Amino acid sequence: MSYPSTQLSGHAFNHSQSQGAEAEYDRLRDLARQEHSKKSACMDKSRNAYERGDGAAAHELSEEGKRHGAMMEQYNKQASDFIFRENNAVGRVAGDTIDLHGQFVEEAEDILEQRIRYAQSTGQTHLHVIVGKGNHSANHIQKIKPRVEQICREQGLQCHQI
């Protein structure tokens, strides 16, 4: 799965955290953005090589681009896992709550669906989901909240804003 290479402004944490934790999250997202840039450059060069009739170079560059894409995915996964662990550590949120701050929409979707399955399998009757206001999204538009509401509708679950 590919995630956009946009940069979050401000903090991805919903609590007071160490500068080291914020720096690690930023480092992982920055590495992912760098890999995205390398992937894009390789794919552009691959297209140019193909148009020049150099199929071997086009293939080699395409494969290199795929490797950069895989690295981007790995760094984004590490960042997602890291921020989720930080924001959802014991004592930071209640057991019936998940905090999705700092997640890309697709990451938040995967986490939420996993958590819903877990809640249902353990007989939990409700789940609080912290999504943020969209302050760190492009144009300050909420992206995670509408997707959470859509998932709830698709699964026949009630969704209430608090």
Among 36-40, 69-73, 121-125, the range scoring the smallest mean pLDDT is 121-125
C-beta of residue 143 within 8 angstroms of C-beta of residue 132: no
When the pLDDT of each residue in the chain is averaged and rounded to a whole number, the result is 88
- Angle, CA 19 vertex, CA 127 and CA 12 arms, to 5°: 35
Quote the pTM value: 0.82
Confidence of residue 5 (pLDDT cuts 50, 70, 90): very low
Contacts of 102 (CB under 8 A, 6+ apart): 8, 12, 13, 25, 79, 80, 83, 84, 87, 136
Q: How far apart are CA 142 and CA 24, in angstroms?
A: 24
Tell whether the model's pLDDT for residue 4 goes beyond 90.
Answer: no
Query: For the stretch 120-141, what's the b/e string if a residue is b when 16 or more beta carbons lie within 10 angstroms of its beta carbon?
Result: eeeeeeebebbbbeeebbeeee
Which structure tokens are listed for 142? 């909420």
C-beta of residue 29 within 8 angstroms of C-beta of residue 107: no
Q: How far apart are CA 64 and CA 107, in angstroms?
A: 25
Helices (H), the chain: 19-51, 55-87, 105-121, 144-154
